[in-house]
Every structure is written in C-alpha cells, then in structure tokens.
Amino acid sequence: MVTMRAVDIKGGTGPATALFINDSTPKPTPSPTQALIRVKAFGLNRMDLLQREGKYPVPPQAPKTLGVEFSGVIEELGSKAHEGHEDWKKGDEVFGLAYGGAYAEYIAVNVHMLVHKPSELSWEECAGIPETWITALQAMYLVGEFAPGKSILWHAGASSVSIAGIQLSKADNASAIYATARQDEKCDFCVQKLGATAAFNSEKSNWSEEVLKATDGKGVDIIIDFIGASYFGGNLDAAARDGHIVNLASMGGAKLPGGEDVGAFVRKRIRFEGSSLRSRDEQYQGKLRNQLVEHALPKFKSKEFTIYVEKVFDWESVVEAHQLMESNKTKGKIICVIP
C-alpha cells in the first residue's frame, strides 16, 4: 500500500489536541474523472471542528480525513479527466473544493471542481476561496435569490463566508448591506474594510431593532444566518415583506425556546430556507464552481475582491490552528501550508 502523511484524529473524534499527522495514511488513487493533487495549502472551516468532534453529518463519499478546500499541483489525471472539461495537464497549479481529505499531502478530486490558480494570488489565498466564496454565492443567489437593488443582512459579519458575501453584495449593487458581530472591532471591520452600510454589535444592542431603525421600519430583503435558534425571532422581526431568510448553521443553538411568534411568516410572507453545500451532488457544486470562475475570479485578479487571511500555520501546528478558530476572535481565513 502506498502511503502519505495526513492529519488524523486520535480515537476517531476528540478535541483539537487529538489531531496529529499520521505517516501511514493510504494515498488516494484518482478515479477516471479525478485528478490527484499534491496539496500546497488547505483552509480551515467551522465544519472541520464539528467533524472532528463527531457532530457533523459527513457525506458518504467523503474520506475520513478533514478538509474541503485546498490549493496545489496536479500530479496525476484519471483516464477520463479530459472529457467535457478544461484541458488539464500534469503540473497545472489549481485550487478546488472537495467532499473531504484536504488535510493531507495528496487529495483526489473531480476535475470539474478544480480552478486554475491565478498568478496574482498566493497558494494561501487560493486555499481560502472555494468553500467560503461558493457558500456565499449559493446562499445569496441560488437560495436567497439576490438581485441588484435588494438589501441584505449578513450575520457573523467577520466570518469568512460573510466577508465574501459582503464584498459580493457591494459589487452587485445591493441597496444596503448590514452585518452583525459580537465585537466592536469586527463591526468596524465590516463597515470600514468591507463596505457594509452598517454593522451592529449583537452583544451590546438589539440588532433587529437597529436594522428596523436603519431601514425606516421596512426591514431587509435577504438575511443570511449562521446562528439559528437564538436569532430566529430577531430574523422574523428584521425581515422585510416578502423577505427571504437563509439558514446555514445553528451556532447559537438548534432548538427554539418556545413562545416564538411565527405570525410574521404569514403577515410578511416570509420564506425561511435551510441549505448546505457539502451534502450537494457534484453537478450542483459544479454549477457553483462555474459561477465562482465567471463571477468572482476576475475580481480576485484585479484585487477588487480580497481574500482576508487571519493567520497562516505550518500544518504541523494544526492543533493551534483549530484552537485559534475555536476562540472566535478571527476575521477571515485560517490557512495551513504543507512545506
């Protein structure tokens, strides 16, 4: 058996300190439609922490190794990797989205989920794009049905997905862009660095009242929420008539406390829709990959869009990288590089 080094978890699940680099992980073999990538860098995501703890529904096609986004170099191509796709070749510099397995020296990925790495971007920047920006595009467009002139609210405004989303909203002419965060520094970042219209500290103020005040009582057309139960009532209050609330996670709890007034669903004709990216099939993900290439890649090259990287770790320090993400003090991506 050919082996490689990959991040593993002592006991299968556990805290950040259970992570270690396993020297005897089986090296993947690409299927006919896949490429084998030598990984240069990989991005951390909140789902990695949940998966590490055994609290994330991992799709059946995913390897047990963590990680869904990466940058690297094509080392090998499957026999059908050229059919209906770009003319990939060995040595191409790429970044991409996977169902799992990015915390490793090698990863096998369907070629349709790969993107050519622009020379204007670093390996670290590219490793922070796929999951983050594709999730933002999915939430805004496919689920939230954003169109120019609509207003939008991004919760967890300094999270990587919302950082991407605020920039996309601004570039695509949202009428107003609001954000919430739990620290003044993060709120300032959303307004001053990203271009949000206003950001509200959810620890210090009633953010839904602030949104209604800022919109003269109208509310916002689209709300992208990662918090869940604790923001449920506030979302209903802050949504405009015919508003669309897109729920992507439940960081603030999954069970409603009771006594919630759901009358707003009828009164305001609100749509509440949950979504995820990792559970989608390759055809769905591939369409979003294409949208990323067409919609965002030119703006990455021109620097109109910025990939905010909070900190870069050597992958030998993956424990510290996970602990930093758990601290909830970051603004942007945490990236690990494999020398």
From residue 326, alpha-carbon distances to 5, 47, 179 in Å are 24, 11, 21
Alpha helices in 68-206 (DSSP H): 123-127, 130-137, 160-171, 184-192
pLDDT digits (tens, 9 = 90+) for 31-87: 999 999 999 999 999 999 999 999 988 988 899 999 999 999 999 999 988 776 678
pLDDT digits (tens, 9 = 90+) for 171-197: 999 999 999 999 999 999 999 999 999
Closest residue by Cα to residue 144 from 279, 277, 272: 272
Alpha helices in 138-228 (DSSP H): 160-171, 184-192, 207-214
pLDDT of residue 253: 85
Chain centre distance of CA 321 = 17
In angstroms, the CA 56 to CA 112 distance is 25
Mention every residue, 6+ apart, whose C-beta is less than 8 A from residue 259: none
DSSP code of residue 316 = G
DSSP code of residue 279 = T
Which amino acid is it at 331? K
> Is residue 24 within a helix (H) or strand (E), and if so which, with residue range?
strand 19-26
Q: What is the DSSP string of 222-251?
A: EEEESS-HHHHHHHHHHEEEEEEEEE---T
Q: Which two tokens stand for residue 104?
A: 């490793």
The full set of domains in the chain, from first to last, is: 3-129+282-337 (3.90.180.10), 134-274 (3.40.50.720)
Mention every residue, 6+ apart, whose C-beta is less than 8 A from residue 293: 115
Q: Residue 151: left if φ>0, alpha if ψ -120 to 50, beta else—which one?
A: beta
Closest residue by Cα to residue 121 from 293, 311, 301, 298: 301
Helix orientation angle between 130-137 and 282-291, rounded to the nearest 10 degrees:
90
Residues of the chain where predicted confidence (pLDDT) is lower than 50? none
**Environment class of 303 (CB within 10 Å of its CB; exposed 0-12, middle 13-18, buried 19+):** exposed
pLDDT of residue 87: 83
Q: Which two tokens stand for residue 57?
A: 């529904």
Is there a contact between 88 and 77 (Cβ–Cβ < 8 Å)? yes
Mention every residue, 6+ apart, whose C-beta is less than 8 A from residue 143: 244, 246, 273, 275
